[in-house]
Amino acid sequence: MKREWEGESIVILDFGSQYTQLIARRIRAESVFSVILPHSAGIEEIMAENPKGLVLSGGPADLTEENALRLEVDIYSLGVPVLGICYGMQLISQMKGAELERADHREYGHTKIEADTDSALFRGTPVEQKVWMSHGVRLKSIPAGFRAIASSVGCPIAAMSNDEERIYGLQFHPEVFHTENGIEILQNFLFEICCCDKVWSSKSFVELEVLRIRERVGDARVLCAVSGGVDSSVMAALVDRAIGKQLVPVFVDNGLLRENEAEEVREILAGCLTTDLVFVDAADEFLSRLNGITDPEEKRKIIGTAFIDIFERESEKHGPFAFLAQGTLYPDVIESRSTFGPSDTIKSHHNVGGLPDEMSFELIEPLSLLFKDEVREVGKFLDLPAVQIERHPFPGPGLAVRVPGAIVREDLDLLRRVDRIFIDGLRREGLYDDVWQAFAVLLPVRSVGVMGDERTYQKAAVLRAVTSTDGMTADWARLPYDFLQDIANEIINKVDGVNRVVYDISSKPPSTIEWE
Ligand code: XMP
């Protein structure tokens, strides 16, 4: 079954650019729904999205080569405006018979263009504007029926249009922040050229999703796991709004959470769900299974298996369930290229780590069309408290991967106290939202110190704070020295058992964000 989105959309055909998701997000930020489909999508697949316009993304391939990615369908038969960006523009040109050539020098970064501000795409923008170029191939000639509407020194055809056929091309990237008038150019495409309406919003999303979930679920019951993270909380709040007490959210306290976290999550969710949370205190079970285990991968496996065992037990206790709801987001969908629809019966659950074969549910993934920032917006609309929505990511295996080596309860307690001081400090100084993630690690290393007249021989704690956009790459956060000094002092003074604090200045790659 196809997803039946009632609104209209802009379809982005993906040729593999690192910026493709950014194009979709920029368009949605204008209250126009956009979807990303693979460049190989068929006409029916594209039409199912009810497109008001089509964008061909950039891409890393070289169109002067034979086996570069090309279109497999006649997109012009759709009768909607088309915008090619970078590779997309080159592809349109090549298909329309123009010649491409390798540029004398590859053009990367800031470039100044002169734009024809009478053209629909550049209307309301300045003649001279700074744009972000990233290409090694350019147009040698312009295809018949097109005219150049912008040029730069290195690229005489920096943008082109065929107004009659409503086909446009930009050699630069309007979606990136460095293109000064990028948003205006995209707005012109959306509203002047495609005549889109501003109908996409958290409100319209929630209203429609609630109806869809109700229709699919009927009077069946739905199981879900909540971790306290943003995605599962928003997912549960949304499904709760649709079906209330037919939803059974299970929260497993694995004993590896931060200080008071289990209680805080319980309170927050109790405040925004109408259904009752199933709270499972499984700390002892997890810790006894982890006893003496030092290998990071083994720790993860044990935690994953323990979670499944407990989740299965709870599912039997509270079941039967026809559906499992989970907080999968759009980037996962794009990356795995999964199809929409309820027919995907799962045997494995990436957030949980693989459910056993005999547990098979139909899957409900109500956030699978959303980017993270949109999930936060939906969370706000559903009245989740800001502190829940702006939370840093937290790994499934919890503090187990922040205590290198064997895990004992006392070390977890020490780590919780260190972590609390660090996080509270970040919040107090208004630094929490500036970093992607911040946390402490307790090292299995003792060092000598002196406190008052006494020699100490205690553990060392690491503070880690990183900036990132997606967790795939990360840089260490340049937190102010004075702040780090105050936090280190506070930790050493207040946490008996830690006499040394170090700050992790490794980036990812080559390091990872977590220590294990
Ligand atoms: P790394 O350490 O791989 O982490 O650079 C990248 C991001 O993923 C989080 N992370 C996990 N999240 N289960 C999760 O749900 C895990 O096993 C896991 N390991 C790492 C990490 O906190 C960071 O945000």
Instruction: Give the position, in ligand 1's atom list, of the atom nearest the Cα of 227.
Output: 15
Q: What is the pLDDT of residue 165?
A: 96
Q: What confidence score (pLDDT) does residue 360 get?
A: 78
Atom of ligand 1 nearest to the CA of 514: 2
Q: Which residue has the tokens 């550049």?
A: 122
Q: What pLDDT, on a 0 to 100 scale, did the predictor assign at position 355?
A: 59
- Domains of the chain (ranges plus CATH)? 9-193 (3.40.50.880), 202-389 (3.40.50.620), 408-503 (3.30.300.10)
8-state DSSP, 359: -
Nearest CA to ligand 1 atom 7: 471
Atom of ligand 1 nearest to the CA of 508: 5
Pick from 64, 58, 52, 12: which is nearest to 179 by CA?
58
Residues that are catalytic: 86, 173, 175
Taking the centre of ligand 1 as the mean of its atom positions, its distance from the CA of residue 297, in whole angstroms, is 13
What separation in angstroms does the CA of 490 have from each of 257, 414, 432, 483, 494? 22, 14, 18, 11, 6
Q: Whose CA is nearest to atom 9 of ligand 1?
A: 395
Cβ contact 440:402 at 8 Å: yes
Distance between Cα 509 and ligand 1 center (Å): 14
CA angle, corner 384, sides to 364 and 250, nearest 5? 45
Element (DSSP H or E) covering residue 458: strand 454-467
Query: Which residue's alpha carbon is at the smallest distance from atom 11 of ligand 1?
Result: 395
Residues lining ligand 1, Cβ inside 6 A: 300, 393, 395-397, 437, 471, 508, 512-514
Residues 463 and 504: beta-carbon distance below 8 Å: yes
Tens digits of residue pLDDT in 190-210: 999 999 999 899 998 999 999
For residue 485, give the H/E element and its range. helix 481-494
Pocket probe for ligand 1: among 303, 472, 511, 514, the residue whose CB has the most ligand atoms within 8 Å is 514
- Cα atoms found within 13 Å of the Cα of residue 128, Cβ hemisphere only: 2
Query: Which among 150, 40, 37, 160 has a CA at the least distance from the CA of 96?
Result: 160
Provide the pLDDT for residue 225: 95
Dist CA 233 CA 261 (whole Å): 14
| pLDDT on residue 344 | 35
Which residues in the chain land under pLDDT 50? 1-5, 338-353
d(CA 285, CA 491): 30
**pLDDT (0 to 100) of residue 354:** 53
Question: What Cα–Cα distance (Å) separates residue 111 from each residue in 150, 161, 172, 173, 464?
Answer: 12, 20, 9, 11, 37
- Collapsing DSSP to helix, strand or coil, 304 comes out as helix
> Under DSSP, is residue 48 helix (H, G, I), strand (E, B) or coil?
coil
Q: Ligand 1, atom 6: nearest CA belongs to which residue? A: 471
512 Cα: distance to centroid of ligand 1 (angstroms): 9
Q: What DSSP element (H or E) covers 138?
A: strand 128-139
Cα 396 to averaged position of ligand 1 atoms, centre (Å): 7
Q: Around Cβ 276, how many Cβ atoms within 10 Å?
A: 12
Q: Which atom of ligand 1 is nearest to the CA of 511?
A: 5
Ligand 1 centre distance from Cα of residue 399 (Å): 11
CA distance 154 to 147: 18
> From the alpha carbon of 512, which atom of ligand 1 is closest?
5
Whole-prediction pTM: 0.84
Segment 263-277, tens digit of pLDDT: 999 999 999 999 999
